[in-house]
Chains A and B, each alone.
Chain A
């Protein structure tokens, strides 16, 4: 099959993800576990950072992957990458957990924000392209104006609503809204400029 343009590592990875999900949709457990192995560290890292509770994060992410297993056949590659599909679910489910009363109580009981030791980082073996992409996203995030980055981080990693972000930062809700929009736009431009 002739591809319309040269494929980068990310494109190849996307194709691999699609193939894995297609096989998983047919009940192929090994294909699903390969997809899980590929992204579980990323999804769990996100959830741990948001929840600051590793045990709860593992529960949430396990449920997310189960959801993916059940609904792999519904993944539509025309609507975005499998990675994006998974991570959006991981984020949404973690936000749900944060906002649930029980989760809030468990977070309060946690002694302190979890410290990710070097052991955690060393234990993660990632594909090179994913490490590269991770570095690009972090760099792009760091290049955002402080005001935009702070709003995005509080909302995305804190699981806060925009109203809660406004209250925490003591700024108008409208300012939070526009900083979020402009921050995401700038992030996209930055990633497009340096990713391929």
Chain B
């Protein structure tokens, strides 16, 4: 199977949520690199997106309970549409909101920029939705990753998504990338590689491993499954 065929199978897996969380981000990046130059794969993505979601129709419909209907109506009445407005009660959440407000105005990382030629709107919508979920959730936490001359911030929900943010960050040495890790029971779990753009970083994390104790960033030649250098940014998860 050549790379083109492999990516086509990746598109199919992605559209039915068949990739493990640890591969989603990397696969998205590879697809975003490939799709702009490949009309066949772009068409495939569009063609299969709709049919993948229609598989849902094969399931037997189940009418919601009266309780669910009532809860839904109550929830939308009580749910402020602007997430910022619900998040001003606690300093921690206010901080998260400020961070999110700031990052929404940021240019995205180099990987996300590739999306500009095809799927940026979708990705932004998804990322924004994920962020909205984060700041509107009382379980959201923020962690500072201390480094020598700078710091990064992770806004996350344990066992769910998160986002790593930084500003005024110097780039890694020429030819190198930063790599984000979670460490659980002493075992590093790789997340993704990234580079700051104009000093700014935003890395979406689809799933922060439950039970992870440490979040760290190393400098690597490329995406690796085991760190080859000591972390230059480290933070402790609550």
Contacts and interface: CB of A to CB of B under 8 A. Distances in A.
Contacts of B20: 161, 163
Interface residues of B, number: 57
Interface in A107-143: 116, 120-121, 123-126, 130, 133-134, 137-138, 141
A133 B75 contact: no
Nearest to A66: B75
Interface stretch (B42-50, B190-198, B221-229): B42-50
B144 interface: no
Nearest to A157: B59
Contacts, number: 195
Contacts of B6: 177
A87 B48 CA distance: 14
A177 B57 contact: no
Interface in A66-112: 66-67, 69-71, 74, 76, 79-81, 83-85, 87-88, 90-92, 95-96, 99-101
A184 interface: yes
Contacts of B51: 184, 187-188, 191
- Taking residues whose C-beta sits less than 8 angstroms from the other chain, chain A's interface range is 35 or more
A95 B13 CA distance: 13
A33 B75 CA distance: 11
A181 B132 CA distance: 33
Given A41-B63, A58-B68, A177-B9, 5 more contacts: A27-B81, A45-B62, A84-B50, A92-B17, A121-B60
- State the 4 A-B residue pairs at the shortest beta-carbon distance, nearest first: A177-B9, A41-B61, A123-B63, A45-B61
Interface of B: 1, 6, 8-13, 15-21, 47-65, 67-69, 71-73, 75-77, 79, 81, 83, 121-122, 125, 128-129, 132-133, 136, 159-160, 210
